[in-house]
Amino acid sequence: MGTDSARVLLERAATLTLQTGNLLNWGCLRKKCPATPGEEVRDCIQKTLTEWSSKIGQDLNQEIPEVLECTVAQAIEKINPEERDELKVSACSALGVAQLDSVIIAPPPIEDGTSLSLEYLQPYWQELENLVQNKKIVAIGTSDLDKTLLEQLYLWAQVKPNSNQVNLASCCVMPPDLTAFAKQFDIQLLTHNDPKELLCEASFQEVLQESIQNTKAHEWIPLWLLRYSVIVKSRGIIKSKGYIIQARRNAS
């Protein structure tokens, strides 16, 4: 019955917020371990949707919420306040903390032939700056900016980026101009191995269709994806990691 109820909810809601909770509580998500970042996202969305739909009751006479909260209770894990000082955290309400240590923004891929501009980044960066000024985040950083764009952002921004992630696939050696600029302005250069698009529209719709059959999966579009982690500072051990995804339904 759960899948039928889930289908009804998904056909009527306008927004879906999916929260995986701590993936370390799931065990290994697929036989091939470690999975690529893209496979990991797909796996945990599928597992969360499947578990969530199996727990939905039959009583759908009550009002259907505009925003569906899709999560699995046993995977959610709040941080013990006594341990907070020893941990480096990158997500607030999901983990029951007042402040994040670091947030890195990764803009979505843009059409071929156009390059990312400062104007595109500015509204997102201003939101992050507000969160820093309101003591919700300690430090903010960027992902995949070249030296020119990082410099433009740095000169314009009130709250300066303290880090920039560089994709390992695009360079085995850090570009010298980027390295020199980062060193001069004390910006930490980090590396990552995510694909350009961690979760594309087609992939999200596919996993929705696989988890809850016959739903109008083609109406759902992912808006943003947040990956968070909790790391023990002194030892670099990952204590918790997970994803929060928001999607919107475009009713035809």
In a domain, 54, yes or no: yes
Contacts of 42-47 with C-beta under 8 Å, sequence gap 24+, read 42/199, 42/203, 42/207, 44/20, 44/242, 44/243, 45/18, 45/20, 45/199, 45/204, 45/207, 45/208, 45/211, 45/243, 45/245, 46/207, 46/210, 46/211, 47/20
Residue 109 included in any domain: no
pLDDT at 169: 75
In a domain, 233, yes or no: no
Residue 244 belongs to some domain of the structure: yes
Number of domains composing the chain:
1
Q: What strand order describes the sheet that includes 188-192?
A: 100-105, 137-143, 163-167, 188-192
The reported pTM is 0.84
In a domain, 58, yes or no: yes
Any domain includes 188: no
Residue 171: inside a domain: no
List the domain range (segments joined by +) for residue 29.
1-76+197-225+240-252
Q: What confidence score (pLDDT) does residue 170 get? A: 67
The pLDDT of residue 203 = 94
Q: Is residue 217 part of a domain?
A: yes
Q: What is the pLDDT of residue 14?
A: 92
Give the model's pLDDT for residue 124. Answer: 92
What is the mean pLDDT for each group of 10 consecutive residues in the chain (252 residues)?
A: 80 91 72 75 91 75 78 73 71 69 85 81 94 93 94 97 87 85 95 88 94 88 91 84 92 68
For position 29, what pLDDT does the model report?
54
